[in-house]
Structure 1
Amino acid sequence: MSRLAVLSLFYVATFLQAGAYGLTFLLPRLFETFGANEKVVGAMLFITTIATLVSVYYAGHLSDRFGRMRMLGIACLSIAAALAGYGLAGGVGALLILASVAIGFGWGLTYALSPVALTRLVAEDERVRFFALLSVALMAGFGLSPVMAAMMERAGLTVNDAFFVTAALCALAAAIFFALAAPVRALSLATGAEPRSSLSLAAVGAIMRSPARLPVIMVCLGASVFAGMNNFQTVFADERGLDYADYFLAYTVTVVVFRVVLARFRGGANPYMTIAALQFVMFASVVLFLGSGSNAATYLAVAFLFGIGYGVSYPILAAMAANDADPDLVPQTLQFFALSYFIGIFGFPLIAGWMIVETGSTALLGLVAALAGVEASIAALRGLQRRRAAPVEA
């Protein structure tokens, strides 16, 4: 099998399983069918957070024992089971909790191991390009699954049916990952045995003493912003009389188009200044959303700007985490990067759900805007430091 064929199938499988995360944006809608509110959504996602962090921490241990591609396949099967569990749940109970644990286990492994697997197939100077394509596949799955769910609802089906369909797609992704195990090993650019990927407290300490600590911190902030805007977008849309499918479609198309167009872009001479500029656009989109009311055109503009700001900056930040890492700790750094991401993506909804119920959505969006501004400012400060140091390095 050629390298192009392997990479293409890898991205297809990534796209198929990524729809699972997109459906978590519909948990408020699903939970509403059995009388649960946003606090319960936040609580279930907090359980998912714990499962995700544990699985990310042990992802390297498991992949060292069973192989990265096989673990990706197992992870997709876990996600498929979780989605089926959500679809079958008729109330808050053991099935819902087990589904939350299973999706955290599966999504933590897929997110942590996918970029590590890619580093075996692409050279260092190709990372931004291929990480961008990976994020295109992820974001397309994220964004299109809520759109699919909305279309199914309009056709007379239920949100539960969307969970069952996506479970089947995740099972197909598992089959693809299992089939790619041997071709990926054969096409690996590295010689000899794969370096150990196990994450340890000593490795975490080394990462936090390296320049890679900044991308690790920033991705947690960005993930919190992403979760605050997207996980409760159905709530925001219902409050304003808008259609959440419009937001997700505009956001997804924007991210996919810009990431494809910029796939060969490596971040420019100073990637952190590029990240800062994009994240200030993200900050502006949240501020605009705060004051946009029920205007449909402005709603699409918010989705467009957020797609550019968050969507385009993320793969550059992921590549900087790999490039700023100690060469011997690249797999561990990417796993720790993923762990930090999941703290924000699944942990922040616990705060967000509480805020919506107790203080309202406006207060939540204010907090999200503040986090976006902090992350953009951190990137700008690192960019200025690199600019000042550049003459000395030359």
Structure 2
Amino acid sequence: MTRSTMFTLFYLASFLQAGAYGLTFMLPRLFEGFGGNEKVVGVMLFITAIATLLTVYFSGHLSDRFGRVPTLGGACLSIAAALASYGLATDVGVSLVFASVALGVGWGLTYALSPIVLTGLVNVEERVRYFAILSVAVMAGFGLSPVMTSLMEKSGMTVNDAFFVTAVLCALAGTIFFAITGSVRNQASARGPEVRSSLSFASVVVIMKSKARLPVIMVCMGASVFAGMNNFQTVFADERGLNYADYFLAYTITVVLFRLVLARFKGGRNPYLTIAILQYVMFGSIALFLGIGGHVSLYLLVAFLFGIGYGVSYPILAAMAANDAEPEILPQTLQFFALSYFIGIFGFPLVAGWMMVEMGSSALLMLVVAMAGIEATMALMRSISVRAALASVASDTR
């Protein structure tokens, strides 16, 4: 298998399994069918969060034992089982709990291990590019699955059917990962011996004392903002008389196009300044969303701006986590980065679901916009420190 074929199949598998996360945006709609509300969605995603955090923590142990790519294949099968269980559920019971746990296990492994696999295959200067392409594949997958669900509903099918279709696609993704295991292993071994990935409390302490601490904290906040905007977008849209598929389609197209265009962009001399600017755009998009009412054109503008702000800043932030990491614990840093991401992505909906039911959607959006502003300011402060350091180095060389 050639190197280009291997990467193509790797990204294809990543795209196919990513649709599972997009379907979590459909959980409020799915749960309506058997009387579940946003609180139930929040509780199930909190269960997913616990399973995900435990899985990410032990992902290095599993990959050291079974191999990184075979573990990715098994993770996709876990996701497929989760989606099938969601689709078959008829009440709030054991099947939903099983589905939530299986989703957390599968998504935690795929998200934690995919960047580590890529890191072992590419040079340092290639990281932003390859991370960007991975994020394009993932974004296209979970951004298009809600659109697919909307089209299926319009054709007379159900939300449940979308879960079954995506379960099959995830199983296919697992098969692809198993098929490319040998090729990935050969390519990675040519670059040197594989560093062990096991995460420990001691490595977490080292990470939190290093420069990588900031991207780890920021990705948690950004994931919470993302979850607050997207996990309940069907509810936001219904309240305003809008079509949630318009938002997800505009958001996905924006992110995919801009990430492809910027695939070779490494963030400039001061990547944190680039991140800060993009995240202030994200902040502005949410602030705009608070006052758009039922205007479709403004709704699309919100999706466009949020896609630029969050969607483009994320791969640069992921690359900064790798670049700021201590070299000897790079795999552990990327795992902890994933762990922090999932605390936000699956943990924040518990808070968000409660706020939606008890305080309304406007209160939730105000919290989300405040968090977006804080995250952008954190990036700006780091960029000021980086600029001062660069100026100091420049003056010393004169």
In which range does the TM-score fall when normalised by the shorter chain? over 0.9
The residue type paired with residue 126 of structure 2 is E
1:1-394 residue pairs with structure 2 within 5 A?
A: 1-188=1-188, 191-394=191-394
Offset from partner CA, 1:30-57 (integer Å, 9 cap, x none): 0000001000000000000000000000
**TM-score, with length taken from structure 2:** 0.98
2: CA distance, partners of 1:344 / 1:81: 24
**Contact between 1:58 and 1:199, CA under 8 Å: does it hold in 2?**
yes
**TM-score, with length taken from structure 1:** 0.99
1: CA distance, partners of 2:229 / 2:132: 22
Q: Secondary structure at the match of 2:59?
A: helix
1: CA distance, partners of 2:126 / 2:191: 18
Offset from partner CA, 1:252-279 (integer Å, 9 cap, x none): 0000000000000000110000000000
The residue type paired with residue 57 of structure 1 is Y
Residue 2 of structure 1 deviates from its aligned partner by: 1.2
**Contact between 1:120 and 1:190, CA under 8 Å: does it hold in 2?**
no
Residue 377 of structure 1 deviates from its aligned partner by: 0.1
2: CA distance, partners of 1:343 / 1:323: 22
2: CA distance, partners of 1:60 / 1:364: 35
2: CA distance, partners of 1:299 / 1:331: 39
1: CA distance, partners of 2:68 / 2:78: 15
2: CA distance, partners of 1:124 / 1:190: 16
**Contact between 2:203 and 2:329, CA under 8 Å: does it hold in 1?**
yes
Residue 193 of structure 1 deviates from its aligned partner by: 3.0
**Contact between 1:146 and 1:248, CA under 8 Å: does it hold in 2?**
yes
Q: Secondary structure at the match of 1:50?
A: helix
2: CA distance, partners of 1:390 / 1:265: 20
1: CA distance, partners of 2:278 / 2:83: 33
The residue type paired with residue 16 of structure 1 is L
1: CA distance, partners of 2:190 / 2:376: 35
**Contact between 1:123 and 1:189, CA under 8 Å: does it hold in 2?**
no
Residue 389 of structure 1 deviates from its aligned partner by: 1.0
Residue 317 of structure 1 deviates from its aligned partner by: 0.0
RMSD value over aligned CA atoms? 0.7
1: CA distance, partners of 2:375 / 2:9: 34
Offset from partner CA, 1:318-361 (integer Å, 9 cap, x none): 00000000011110000000000000000000000000000000
1: CA distance, partners of 2:287 / 2:241: 19
2: CA distance, partners of 1:390 / 1:87: 54
The residue type paired with residue 262 of structure 2 is L
Residue 142 of structure 1 deviates from its aligned partner by: 1.0
**Contact between 1:64 and 1:197, CA under 8 Å: does it hold in 2?**
yes
Q: Report the identity percentage.
A: 72
Residue 187 of structure 1 deviates from its aligned partner by: 1.0
Offset from partner CA, 1:61-115 (integer Å, 9 cap, x none): 0000000000000000000000000000000000000000000000000000000
2: CA distance, partners of 1:191 / 1:126: 14
2: CA distance, partners of 1:102 / 1:57: 16
2: CA distance, partners of 1:331 / 1:378: 24
Q: Secondary structure at the match of 1:171?
A: helix
- With over 3 angstroms needed to count, the CA separation of the structure-2 counterparts of 1:373 and 1:189, relative to structure 1, is farther
Offset from partner CA, 1:180-201 (integer Å, 9 cap, x none): 1100011116544311000000
Q: Secondary structure at the match of 1:263?
A: coil
The residue type paired with residue 93 of structure 1 is G
2: CA distance, partners of 1:91 / 1:179: 37
**Contact between 2:276 and 2:379, CA under 8 Å: does it hold in 1?**
yes
The residue type paired with residue 111 of structure 2 is Y
**Contact between 1:79 and 1:170, CA under 8 Å: does it hold in 2?**
yes
**Contact between 1:122 and 1:189, CA under 8 Å: does it hold in 2?**
no
1: CA distance, partners of 2:340 / 2:39: 23
**Contact between 1:149 and 1:162, CA under 8 Å: does it hold in 2?**
yes
Offset from partner CA, 1:154-191 (integer Å, 9 cap, x none): 00000000000000000000000001110001111654
The residue type paired with residue 167 of structure 1 is A
2: CA distance, partners of 1:298 / 1:213: 36
**Contact between 2:282 and 2:310, CA under 8 Å: does it hold in 1?**
yes
**Contact between 2:188 and 2:194, CA under 8 Å: does it hold in 1?**
no
1: CA distance, partners of 2:56 / 2:31: 27
**Contact between 2:247 and 2:299, CA under 8 Å: does it hold in 1?**
yes
